[in-house]
């Protein structure tokens, strides 16, 4: 996901949250491949200094903040694999519905980084132990693993069943009390009031690491 798309998504989520006619937000990606493979590898390769690195990592930070602060529920349709920032999007969702093939992976450590930006949202959903194991062992976790730990609220056998479930859930929420949903969402994300500062500091740390010799070599930066 390039920075322009991340910024557009964050802006769209914020605007929809202010729309009095909107009841629920549905987040999904196009195609039949992965749901989200994280931030743009090409943009990571092109970074020239730590300040640019911080701006790069703030892309996912701003999207996560927009999602959790939106007063409407964010339902996410996960039709395929989620890697890195994609797992962060799933974790920042209020209700993620996935297919059985929607495996999950955190691969940041392999390139000298860490899931620092998306970490708070993931850890909040699955706990420190499971997050730590996922971050250290950068191998695939199957969708059932994600469901058992609360990343996915529902699992379905195929895309047809997924879409039926998404339509059913969004229809129910669209007919629900907006004030009750807004207050419930505030309760669900209680304790995240300092995340703006937290993710700023995490982005700065990530930006510095991105310019390290290890990461430059790992991503093939000249």
Domains and CATH numbers, the chain: 3-160+177-219 (3.90.226.10)
> What are 79-121's pLDDT values in tens digits?
999 999 999 999 999 999 999 999 999 999 999 999 999 999 9
Beta strands in the chain (DSSP E): 24-27, 73-78, 82-83, 95-99, 104-105, 154-156
Over residues 193-203, the mean pLDDT reads 97
- How would you class 21 by CB atoms within 10 Å of its CB: exposed for 0-12, middle for 13-18, buried for 19 or more? exposed
pLDDT tens profile 130-166: 999 999 998 999 999 999 999 999 999 999 999 999 9
Q: Give the model's pLDDT for residue 221.
A: 82
Predicted TM-score (pTM) of the model is 0.96
Q: Cα separation of 90 and 208, whole Å?
A: 26
């Amino acid at each position: 996901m390039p920075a322009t798309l991340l910024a557009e998504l964050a802006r769209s989520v914020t605007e929809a949250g202010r729309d009095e006619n909107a009841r629920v937000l549905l987040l999904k990606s196009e195609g039949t491949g992965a749901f989200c493979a994280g931030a743009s590898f090409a943009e990571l390769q092109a970074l020239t200094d730590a300040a640019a690195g911080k701006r790069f990592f703030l892309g996912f930070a701003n999207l996560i903040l927009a999602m959790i602060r939106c007063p409407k529920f964010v339902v996410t349709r996960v039709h395929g694999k989620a890697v890195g920032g994609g797992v962060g999007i799933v974790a920042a969702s209020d209700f993620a519905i996935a297919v059985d093939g929607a495996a999950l992976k955190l691969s940041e450590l392999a390139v000298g980084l860490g899931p620092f930006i998306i970490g708070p949202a993931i850890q909040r959903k699955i706990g420190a132990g499971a997050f730590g194991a996922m971050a250290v062992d950068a191998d695939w976790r199957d969708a059932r693993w994600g469901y058992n730990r609360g990343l996915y609220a529902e699992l379905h056998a195929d895309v047809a069943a997924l879409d039926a479930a998404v339509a059913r859930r969004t229809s129910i929420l669209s007919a629900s009390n907006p004030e009750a949903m807004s207050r419930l969402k505030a309760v669900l994300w209680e304790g995240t009031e300092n995340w703006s500062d937290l993710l700023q500091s995490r982005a700065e740390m990530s930006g510095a690491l991105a310019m390290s010799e290890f990461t430059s070599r790992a991503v093939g930066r000249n």
